[in-house]
Amino acid sequence: MADLYNKIKIYLGRDFTSEEVLLQDDQINRVSNPYIKDWNVAEAQPTEEQLNALESQATTLESNKQVIATRKGLYG
């Protein structure tokens, strides 16, 4: 499952700061439950359905980041 941060990054089309979007995770029985606590961006806050629709794009973004990190570690 893709990270909420990456879904929001794709939704906005850019990185964002914690002042713009504050994410919180109230773990229940050691199960992660991240959510948007505060939204201070001009764009409308996305619905859960909109964020879920970005799942595959966010997964691809995360996979690409991992490949880049691995290559940097191997090749400098």
Structure confidence at residue 76 (pLDDT): 74
Q: Are 9 and 61 in contact (CB under 8 A)?
A: yes
pLDDT tens, position by position, 5-59: 999 999 999 999 999 999 999 888 888 889 999 999 999 999 999 999 999 999 9
Q: Are 56 and 7 in contact (CB under 8 A)?
A: no
> For the chain, what's the residue count?
76
Confidence of residue 69 (pLDDT cuts 50, 70, 90): very high
Alpha helical stretches, state H, the chain = 4-12, 48-53, 55-75
Separation CA 45–CA 11 (nearest Å): 10
pLDDT tens, position by position, 52-64: 999 999 999 999 9
Separation CA 74–CA 44 (nearest Å): 41
